[in-house]
Chains A and B, each alone.
Chain A
Amino acid sequence: MDYIQTTNFIGDWVRGLGLPWGLDRAVNGILGALTIAGVVMAGATLLVWVERKVSALIQSRLGPMRVGPWGILQSVADILKLLVKEILVPNGADRLVYFLAPMLPLTAAFMVLAVIPFGPTLQVANPDLGVPYLIAMGGIGVLGILIGGWASNNKFSLLGSLRSGAQMVSYEISVAVILLFITLVSGTTDLRTLVLTQQGTVLDWWVFKVPGLGLAAFVLYLISSTAELNRAPFDIAEAEQEIAAGYHTEYSGMGFAMFFLAEYGNLIASAGVAATCFLGGFLPPAIGVPAVDRALFAVPGLVWFALKVAALILGYMWFRWTFPRPRVDQLMALEWKFLLPVNLGLLSLGALFTAMGWVLP
């Protein structure tokens, strides 16, 4: 594959500079990484504030009000405070692993977002094997949580990380099967091509396309990814009422801030994957009326993508503040006894539909 593609306007610009010895690749890589890091950090910080406001709305409160207009700088203050806070390492902790662990979940979020097409010419890298790459990168996040809980030398942390390991590895399978289903029906693993297969009207999005199955896959993806993200109601790994703060019980200051931001970074990544695979990515919701469609296409693709991601994230937040939490064994039973068989059935049906040519409406 060509590392620098026309899908990336930064890449175009860098290539235009004509740098020698493959420096263009290096510059492109660094610029792309910085962009993604900025997007994740700014997005996560904003999302923390949004989450607090949404929860306040659901709970008939006001939420942060004092810092900046409507408290919009609240999470900036939080992150800044965590940055300048003392870092305590518990006695008996494995220092190397202890400091390494918080970086991994955030890295996973960066890696996933690196291949998501934000717009027609906005994608840091477009590997041919985009979907398998997503599945692989999703597994890195759990590693951070596992080793973080283990290295903390705390029984609550250990319980949290073991719970999280069991849960995320299980739900990883469901997510993978659903992504395979999309690959199967769309016939591509290239994420940009995957978006382009949904060109046309709203009804050409994969969520509506395979009769019934697309919608089912979308809903199943939302459930599984909520569990994979460790978000309430499936947040048994950091269930505050049960095991204090779970795997990050012993993390203070920066380490905790990175776990905290990684949760929201992964939220953006997960919503981005859902938007790309099911909701047409950067494509506007065209309805088939030429005049309207022209207006819709005039809006940049990035805006459409952001809107879809925002809607999905609001959905995730609504889940979180409404449902009670299942128990750890119930959660595993849900995955292995219900979601996985259904997903496998979905995959077989998807194969059948593809073979019979029933995919397009």
Chain B
Amino acid sequence: MGLIQKLPAVVDPLPGGRHLVDAVDTIVNWARANSLWPLTFGTSCCAIEMMASSMPRYDISRFGSEVFRATPRQADLIILAGTIVDKMVEVLKTLYEQLPGPKYVIAMGSCTISGGPFIYDNYSVVKGADRIIPVDVYIPGCPPRPEALFHGLLLLQEKIKKESLRRPWVDTTLHTAPFVNPFTRAALEWETQEKEREPAAAEARAKFAAENPDFKPFKAERVLPPPMPDLPRPAGKGAGLPHGELFDLVRAAFPSVVLHKNEGADRASVDALPSDAPLDFVVPPGEYLAFARFLRDEPRLALDLFFDLTAVDWEQPPAPNGATTPLAHRFHLVVQLLSTVHGHLVFFRVPLAENEVPDDSRKTAVLAEVPSLVPLWPGANFKEREAYDMFGIRFSGHPDLRRLLNPETFEGFPLRKDFTHPAMVKRPY
């Protein structure tokens, strides 16, 4: 309530008013610290540990925090459980602004502290949630155990108990902190602390050495695991129709279809292939739809389930002298089909040549086009949107071709080999 924030200004000048404000501070802080209602907000793995912390074994309700509110209007605390990514940033800012003050934020897990395992070579993960909203308590861990969350909660309670109405919580500006490598920052802090402690520590060491002249420090020894046998892999157990039979069926209908990286294969060499690696056909772009329809409708194959669709970008990195090797087929679009009747999988790929586009817009332009498989399998809808989002391959005839994972305003196509993004930091080691 806004009124209580005005209390110090009015009461402090009065005789004895300071004590009254102090008393109100104590009571208000006691109430706030002991009644931290978190928002139900969890993005990934840490959310499960956050849930586990409110469950019977750990029971966050002991601290009065089991009242997880679904609406930000009634919450006091955001526990940032899980990675924050670029698409989430605006949502998180809105949520933070929707919280009535005083509001607190706990960053749970390495991802929210610094980006954690996703800090390098990654274009979408925010490198530290404190670059978006102010954070009160950091809990490291991947994910932190519930005990660690409780520790963080208790630290926050301590912090709240030191607040005063004289220094109101109102902080309407959102800080956009410059990116400082948190590891460097932590190392520097650690170093200064060590320096401060050094005289006392040296004294203690000298005292200990004088008192225990016979002491030998413990030396760690590496315990090697017992030697393990070098086993060869036994021949795989295939499922469904044998490879040779599949190959014959396909070749009888489509003579132009060959095996990937094995163009000259015949029945005998196909039989010799490992049976647990699915056959991988290469289909000319012109026959793509007809081939897919054939696989679906051929009753002996019974490839009814649309398993997956993805693509590969074959663009090679430029040579040291800057020369690029022109590719006949830049992308391979790979379709994976599964038979729920027999259990066998069949892959087929269609090579896609690159469209002619001006060099400067090459990174952001759609480079290839194939017919959509949605009329054959409705399940292809999301997968084709993903391939469009990641590779910039247009699927003609797709009912709703939008980006699936990246924001609509995203520029470029991440899984292309020439993709660059300002947030992508190369691993320095």
Chain B residues in 8 Å Cβ range of A81: 31-32, 34-35, 76
- A256–B74 CB distance below 8 A: yes
State in angstroms the CA–CA spacing of A64 and B31 once bound together: 14
Nearest residue (CB) in B for A71 is: B64
Nearest residue (CB) in B for A68 is: B34
Interface size grouping (class) on chain B: 20 to 34
- B56–A250 CB distance below 8 A: no
- B64–A83 CB distance below 8 A: no
Residue in A61, A77, A78, A86 whose beta carbon sits within 8 Å of that of B1 in the complex = A86
Please count how many residues in chain A sit with their CB below 8 Å of the partner chain's CB atoms: 35
Q: In the complex, which residues 302-360 of chain A have their Cβ closer than 8 Å to any Cβ of chain B? A: none
State in angstroms the CA–CA spacing of A245 and B68 once bound together: 11
Nearest residue (CB) in A for B54 is: A61
State in angstroms the CA–CA spacing of A248 and B67 once bound together: 15
Kindly state whether residue A87 has any CB partner on chain B within 8 Å.
Answer: yes
SS class, residues of chain A in contact with chain B: loop
Kindly state whether residue A251 has any CB partner on chain B within 8 Å.
Answer: yes
State in angstroms the CA–CA spacing of A357 and B27 once bound together: 62
Residue in B32, B35, B76, B102 whose beta carbon sits within 8 Å of that of A74 in the complex = B35
- B64–A244 CB distance below 8 A: no
Residue in B59, B61, B71, B100 whose beta carbon sits within 8 Å of that of A86 in the complex = B100
Which of A52-60, A172-180, A186-194 makes up part of the contact surface?
A52-60
Chain B residues in 8 Å Cβ range of A244: 70-71
Chain B residues in 8 Å Cβ range of A85: 1, 76, 100-102
Chain A residues in 8 Å Cβ range of B101: 85-86
Known contacts A84-B4, A86-B2, A245-B69: does B56 contact A59 (CB below 8 Å)?
A: yes
Q: In the complex, which residues 29-66 of chain B have their Cβ closer than 8 Å to any Cβ of chain A? A: 30-32, 34-35, 55-56, 59, 61-64, 66
- B35–A252 CB distance below 8 A: no
State in angstroms the CA–CA spacing of A83 and B61 once bound together: 21
Known contacts A77-B30, A81-B32, A87-B100: does B73 contact A256 (CB below 8 Å)?
A: yes
Which among A52, A84, A251 has the greatest number of chain B C-beta atoms within 10 A?
A84
- A61–B61 CB distance below 8 A: yes
Chain A residues in 8 Å Cβ range of B340: none
Chain B residues in 8 Å Cβ range of A56: 59, 61
CB distance from B41 to the nearest CB of A (A): 12
State in angstroms the CA–CA spacing of A120 and B156 once bound together: 51
State in angstroms the CA–CA spacing of A60 and B34 once bound together: 22
| 7 A-B pairs closest in CB distance | A80-B31, A86-B100, A252-B73, A252-B100, A65-B62, A77-B34, A81-B31
Can you give 25 contacting A-B residue pairs, CB < 8 Å?
A52-B61, A61-B59, A63-B59, A63-B62, A64-B62, A64-B64, A66-B64, A71-B64, A77-B30, A81-B34, A84-B4, A85-B76, A86-B2, A86-B101, A87-B1, A244-B70, A245-B70, A245-B71, A248-B71, A248-B74, A249-B73, A251-B74, A252-B100, A253-B1, A254-B1
A interface residues with partner B (beta carbon < 8 Å): 52, 56, 59-67, 71, 74, 76-78, 80-81, 83-88, 240, 244-245, 248-254, 256
* Additional 5 contacts, C-beta under 8 A, given A78-B31, A84-B31: A64-B63, A66-B64, A76-B31, A81-B76, A240-B70
